Amino acid sequence: MKKLFPDIPCIGSEHLMLRQLSPGDAAGLRELTNSPEVYRYLPTFLFEKKYADAECAIREMYDAGRKESLILGVFSDGAFCGLAEFYGYRAPLRKVSVGYRLLPQFWGRGIATKALALMVGYLFNETDIRIVTASVMPKNRASAGVLKKNGFHCVQHSVPENWGYALPTRADKWIKTAAGNPRA
């Protein structure tokens, strides 16, 4: 089995592709990072938000940004929809966290659900990862629904976390294991 971050995967299905961003994806990334709707339920310190220039962010996310996380672009029938991220990698535990963010025009189409299914399938079938977690603000019911549809279980409610805001952010903690048992 592969370790998680040495290679940048290209993960796909018939209509959906998760792949490394290229300079040609800068306009889509710029649109995403400039959308207050997208980032209202997300931490303030996400990698792509550290750079004013989207092309610079793309260059850096596969260099400096790849030490503990991996960001892939989400594409539906070739159109840039958003980002999928693997982060918080803990090699000894064989655990990683996942996140996703899509442009508003792609919400409600099942793209996040399918992207997460591709991410989890890749992790459990192609890497040595056995535990996948996610944190979601309780108000973000759509994201909680994506996790439920993919077999995640909420194991903690409204836990304070540092998401970069002045006060701790309340988040629900979700888990899925390779064995399908949230307590494995």
The DSSP secondary structure of 70-125, one letter per residue, reads EEEEEEETTEEEEEEEEEEEEGGGTEEEEEEEE-GGGTTSSHHHHHHHHHHHHHHH
Map out the domains of the chain as residue ranges. 11-177
The model carries a pTM of 0.92
- Residues 86 and 72: their CA atoms lie apart, in Å, by 9
What tokens appear for 105 in the block?
Answer: 């025009």
CATH architecture of 11-177: 3-Layer(aba) Sandwich (3.40)
pLDDT tens series, the chain, 184 aa:
566 667 899 999 999 999 999 999 999 999 999 999 999 988 888 888 888 899 989 988 887 656 668 999 999 999 999 999 999 988 889 999 999 999 999 999 999 999 999 999 999 999 999 999 999 999 999 999 999 999 999 999 999 999 999 999 999 999 999 986 444 3
